[in-house]
Amino acid sequence: MGRKSKTIKLNVYIQGNLIGIYVKAPDGSTSFTYDPTWVDHGFAISQSLPLVTVPYKGDSAKIYFENLLPDLKEARELIATKIHANSSDHFDLLDAIGHDCVGALLFSKILSANEAKDQPPRGEILSDKKIGNIIRNLKSYPLGMNNDQADFRISLAGVQEKTALLFLKNKWQRPIGTTPTTHILKPAMKFETFGLDMRSSVHNEYFCMKLCKEFNLKVAEVEIKSFDGELALVVKRFDRYEKDGIIYRRPIEDMCQALGYFSNKKYQSDQGPCVSELISILSTSVNREKDLETFFKSLVVFFVMGAIDGHAKNYSIEYVKEGHRLTPLYDILSIYPALTDKEIKLGKYKMALSVGTSPHYKVDKIFRRHFLETAKTCQISKEKANEIIDDILFKIDQEVWNKIKCSKLFDESTRNRIISGIKILSKKLL
* Active-site annotation, residues: 309
By the 8 A CB rule, do 108 and 99 touch? yes
The DSSP output letter for 179 is P
> 3-state class of 393 per DSSP?
helix
- Cα-Cα-Cα-Cα torsion 127, 235, 48, 282, nearest 10 degrees, comes to 170
Angle value at C-alpha 9, between 7 and 12, nearest 5 degrees: 160
By the 8 A CB rule, do 67 and 257 touch? yes
How far apart CA 330 and CA 252 sit, in angstroms, is 13
What is each CA distance from 278 to 41, 299, 385, in whole angstroms? 27, 12, 18
How far apart CA 314 and CA 305 sit, in angstroms, is 16
Could you tell me where the beta strands, DSSP code E, fall in 156-204?
163-168, 171-175, 183-187
List the one residue out of 32, 40, 107 whose CA is nearest residue 64. Answer: 32
Instruction: Using the CB atoms, write b or e for 330-343: b if 16+ within 10 Å.
Output: bbbbbbbbbbeeee
How far apart CA 290 and CA 278 sit, in angstroms, is 14
Residues 6+ away with beta carbon under 8 Å from 397? none
What is each CA distance from 139 to 38, 79, 92, 430, in whole angstroms? 40, 11, 22, 44
How far apart CA 115 and CA 39 sit, in angstroms, is 22
What is each CA distance from 27 to 5, 23, 338, in whole angstroms? 8, 11, 47
Q: What share of the chain is helix, strand, coil (3-state, %, to 5)?
A: 35, 20, 40
How far apart CA 429 and CA 297 sit, in angstroms, is 13
How far apart CA 372 and CA 356 sit, in angstroms, is 8
How far apart CA 378 and CA 275 sit, in angstroms, is 8
